[in-house]
């Protein structure tokens, strides 16, 4: 299992590098595909993955992503309004086929997965986006790795206080602190290496590191949220697409919530 997980991790990193360096329509298309698969995984949990509720959601997600590139609808709130009305049409006209929680879940799934993951592409399209987009990975994968290492190595020495004992008994407050500090330090190192390419001053390096620290803390909420949903529905993984890791939501759960935070903090602070 460890070997499979390691190989899959290496492949994921290689694919991420290619996509982030390439950017533009290639990244947009990839993020759309990842979002649709992630939505399918979530909708499968809710037992609506092949229903009209889901089909409407997939179509609106495609429209949303296309609009990011071509901007044929100036206000995305229009898309949201049309979407919710379309869902209500399906819900009412097919009554009592769907439960209310499935209606709410369809709406939640598009924004939780489709819209929030799109911020990876939106970060990449910012000024200096080719460099800023890596903060998402430092905040999620980097923070997760540092939290795991610190929790395993020093968690017991400091009391091994549990973050959420019922939800995730292996995650400790000590590990969380280590993850946040790790994300901060990794970003300092990363920003110093690419300081000239980004054209930033020393103080801006620490702004980026602070953004990563905040993103790292919030990424844990994304991870725990995905875990909570799995526990509610008594499933181990969302899918088997990525050997050793599970599905898209199992691997991108922290990025989902981190990407929008990084986008807005970088947009307003840098």
pLDDT tens sequence for the chain (270 residues):
657 776 877 888 899 999 999 999 999 999 999 999 999 999 999 999 999 999 999 999 999 999 999 999 988 899 999 999 999 999 999 999 999 999 999 999 999 999 999 999 999 999 999 999 999 998 888 888 887 777 776 666 555 677 777 777 777 787 888 888 999 999 999 999 999 999 999 999 999 999 999 999 999 888 889 989 999 999 989 988 888 788 999 989 889 999 999 999 999 987
Q: Hey, what are 198's tokens?
A: 């980004």
Contacts of 95 (CB under 8 A, 6+ apart): none
Closest CA relative to residue 102, chosen from 115, 113, 87, 117: 87
Burial (0-12, 13-18, 19+ Cβ within 10 Å), 206: middle
The Cα-based distances of 42 to 12, 45, 47, 54, 109 in angstroms read 21, 5, 9, 10, 7
Neighbouring CB atoms inside 10 A of 24's CB total: 11
- Cα–Cα distance for residue pair 61/44, rounded to 1 Å: 17
CB 99 within 8 A of CB 106: no
The Cα-based distances of 31 to 76, 171, 210 in angstroms read 18, 29, 26
Closest CA relative to residue 147, chosen from 173, 116, 113: 173
Return the pLDDT at 11: 87
Burial (0-12, 13-18, 19+ Cβ within 10 Å), 109: buried
Neighbouring CB atoms inside 10 A of 30's CB total: 18
Q: How are beta strands 162-164 and 168-172 bridged, if at all?
A: antiparallel
Main-chain dihedrals φ then ψ at residue 97, nearest 5 degrees: -60, -40
CB 174 within 8 A of CB 155: yes
């Amino acid at each position: 299992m460890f070997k499979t997980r390691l190989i899959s991790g290496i492949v994921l990193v290689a694919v991420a590098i290619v996509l982030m360096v390439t950017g533009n329509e290639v990244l947009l298309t990839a993020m759309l595909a990842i979002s649709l698969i992630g939505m399918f995984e979530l909708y499968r949990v809710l037992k609506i993955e092949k229903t009209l509720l889901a089909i409407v959601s997939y179509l609106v997600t495609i429209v949303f992503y296309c609009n990011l590139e071509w901007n044929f609808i100036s206000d995305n709130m229009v898309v949201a309004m049309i979407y919710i009305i379309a869902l209500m049409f399906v819900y009412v006209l097919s009554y009592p086929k769907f439960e209310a929680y499935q209606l709410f879940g369809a709406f939640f799934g598009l924004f939780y997965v489709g819209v929030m993951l799109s911020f990876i592409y939106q970060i990449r399209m910012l000024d200096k986006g080719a460099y800023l987009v890596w903060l998402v990975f430092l905040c999620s994968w980097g923070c997760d790795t540092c939290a795991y290492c610190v929790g395993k190595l020093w968690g017991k020495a400091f009391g091994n206080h549990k973050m959420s004992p019922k939800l995730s008994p292996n995650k400790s407050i000590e590990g969380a602190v280590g993850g946040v500090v790790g994300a901060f330090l990794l970003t300092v190192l990363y920003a110093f290496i690419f300081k000239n390419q980004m054209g930033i001053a020393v103080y801006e390096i620490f702004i980026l590191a602070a953004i990563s620290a905040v993103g790292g803390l919030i990424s844990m909420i994304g991870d725990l949220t995905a875990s909570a949903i799995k526990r509610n529905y008594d499933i181990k993984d969302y899918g088997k697409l990525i050997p050793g890791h599970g599905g898209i939501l199992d691997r991108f759960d922290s990025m989902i919530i981190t990407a929008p935070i990084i986008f807005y903090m970088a947009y307003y602070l840098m």
